Amino acid sequence: MSHNDIAVYIHWPWCKRKCPYCDFNSHVSDHLPEEDYLQALLTDFKTQSKNFEGRNLVSIFFGGGTPSLMKPLTTEILINEVCSFFKTSSDKVEITLEANPTSSSLNKFLDFESAGINRFSIGVQSLQDKHLQFLGREHSAKEALHTVEQALKTRARINFDLIYGLPEQNLTEWLSDLSYAVSVEAGHISAYQLTIEPNTKFYSDMRKNNLTPMPNDLQADFFDATRKKLTESDYSHYEISNFAKVNQECQHNVHVWKYGSYLGIGAGAHGRLHCKNITAIQNYKLPFRYIEKVAKNQHGVFMSQETDNETALFEKILLGIRLKAGVKLTNKELSILDAEGLSLLQKSNALLWDGTTLKIPGSHTQLTDDILLKIIK
């Protein structure tokens, strides 16, 4: 990755229904002001990208919320704007769109493909109806399967989003979900362990003792079984929750984990830009506030802050250590970490240092947060 590389994240902040586990910036509204939001996105992009002309565009990621609720024409206008600004053609850039089975059809996938989308990330979550109901999803397993079949009719790359570690889930059910993803030759599988996030319905259910999370040791068994199943099926476990066939890694996310520059456009989007300094940017979160602010200020930025060198180094480690490839560090950079923690973790093979790169071996990646706590002073 060169510092000339840049990625663009575009946030679509609406969903048909709020899932009880989700703390993403997603809202439910009877009226989606798509035209006003598009104009705000274009203006925000124009202002925020001003100093970055000539950079090399790596990827565009339409995330949400549920971006498959967008009109394909809206994505096309945005893709053309971004690709022409950076003077890169859309067929050379990874362009992902997150798709929910309740707002996807073959025609829509084909229209998105014509608009320039070349990767669909499908929110399947589970292939068991009882678990989909628990997750508050509006689609059945049959509908999710149908969506996947339709997406496979395009030439786009496919990611499967699945969630495991559900309170009543057993390993046989989970391995059967993974077997299906493998059988349709999904190039990429994201297997997320359910996290109970504050400010979600699941969190208040848990506080009221109406939801009991899966115990940690069972979660660990699920993690090990996932890793075994997918690596034996020729997927590389390239990041804590992400598995890919050869050359199928999500380039956008890898760029972000490698601490690359990205512009964040849309309500609540974050950005990080390397110029003379590194600047962290955050946009206004509420969709209607964002539209108003862009109309007034010509950008949606709520906070823009320079990152000092020490924070930048910690951020680079926190993100890069998630990757199988690890994070490249100089000896001077390594010296900022807790020497005792480093030495103990190396002795127990939970951390590997070869003189240039610091890595967590795949078998220990589920413990990443605990490992980081021991080395970051």
Ligand X SMILES: C[S@@+](CC[C@H](N)C(=O)[O-])C[C@H]1O[C@@H](n2cnc3c(N)ncnc32)[C@H](O)[C@@H]1O
Residue 161 near ligand X by CB under 6 A? yes
Residue placing its CB nearer to ligand X in the complex, 33 or 213: 213
Give the footprint of ligand SF4 on this chain (CB under 6 A). Answer: 15, 18-19, 22, 24, 26, 64-66, 100, 123
| Site string (73-102) toward ligand X, x via CB under 6 A | -------------------------x-x--
CB of 203 to ligand X, least distance (A): 10
Partner that binds at residue 18, options ligand X, ligand SF4, none, CB closer than 5 to 8 Å by kind? ligand SF4
- Which residue of 72, 123, 187, 271 would you call a contact of ligand X, by CB under 6 A? 123
CB of 290 to ligand SF4, least distance (A): 17
Residue 24 near ligand X by CB under 6 A? yes
| Site string (49-78) toward ligand X, x via CB under 6 A | --------------xx-x------------
Residue placing its CB nearer to ligand SF4 in the complex, 65 or 320: 65
CB of 126 to ligand X, least distance (A): 10
Residue 177 near ligand X by CB under 6 A? no
CB of 121 to ligand X, least distance (A): 7
Residue 195 near ligand X by CB under 6 A? yes
Residue placing its CB nearer to ligand X in the complex, 52 or 134: 134
Rounded Cα–Cα distance for residues 250 and 61 (Å): 10
CB of 42 to ligand SF4, least distance (A): 23
Rounded Cα–Cα distance for residues 342 and 207 (Å): 36
Cis amide leading into 65 (omega within 30): yes
Binding site for ligand X (CB under 6 A): 21-22, 24, 63-64, 66, 98, 100, 123, 125, 161, 163, 192, 194-195, 197
